[in-house]
Amino acid sequence: MARRTFSRAELESFRDAEVPDLLPTAPDEPLRLLFVGINPGLWTAATSTHFAHPGNRFYPALLKGGVIERPIDPANGMTDEDRAMMRERGIGITNLVRRATVKASELTAAELREGGAALTTLVTQRAPRVVAVAGITAYRTAFGQPKAVQGRQPEDLAGAELWVVPNPSGLNAHETVATLADAYREVAEAAGIVSPG
């Protein structure tokens, strides 16, 4: 299938739009691992699919790390089969801030703090085993932890193991698909989705 393209005007029309969380819906589908993005980009909003921008390395890193077993190309929007696979594996996706922007730097500190509180409520309700926030700077602001570092955090979040993992955006030049894959596999191991090793 040819990759969909959007004009700048089309993408701009999705500014401030919201993207639904990807969460298990059936009673027998437990939520083991909840990935938390900062907020949707415009391409994500346009396709209603988390981490959908063609330059984003989230799904390639999940595949390389063995967290998912087949490729997902989200640029045109996830298929029903893609969503079902994620749910069956116990993987959910949400965001700290719901509104779409061009860049996460457009968000205010107050929005991020409100997002941290909302995430705590969601985790209390859905009880994932592991929560993985993708972005250290946003995490520090959202949870008032200015000295936090990536990795397992010393305190849990509403009963869930709390981790901070690298942001998969193409703008995060410090990371590669391989380094992202290692980080995402580590949290998937903690969540019991993949076996250690």
Domain membership of residue 10 (yes or no) is no
Q: Model's pTM, two decimal places?
A: 0.95
On whether residue 106 sits in a domain, the answer given is yes
Distance CA 118, CA 122 (A): 6
Q: How far is CA 78 from CA 26, 104, 195, in A?
A: 19, 22, 26
Which structural domain, as residue segments, surrounds residue 34? 23-190
- Tally the domains of the chain: 1
Structure tokens at 171: 């703008």
Domain membership of residue 104 (yes or no) is: yes
Please indicate, yes or no, if residue 12 is contained in any of the structural domains: no
pLDDT digits (tens, 9 = 90+) for 125-160: 999 999 999 999 999 999 999 999 999 999 999 999
Per-residue model confidence as pLDDT tens digits over 158-196: 999 999 999 998 777 789 999 999 999 999 999 999 998
Q: Which pairs from 117-120 meet CB under 8 Å and 24+ separation?
A: 119/36, 119/94, 119/157, 120/157, 120/158
In a domain, residue 149? The reply is yes
65-122 per-position pLDDT tens digit: 999 999 998 888 899 999 999 999 999 999 999 999 999 999 999 999 999 999 999 9
Within-domain flag for 134: yes
CATH value at residue 140: 3.40.470.10
- Does residue 155 lie within any of the structural domains? yes
Q: For the chain, give the mean pLDDT.
A: 94
- Establish if 51 belongs to a structural domain: yes
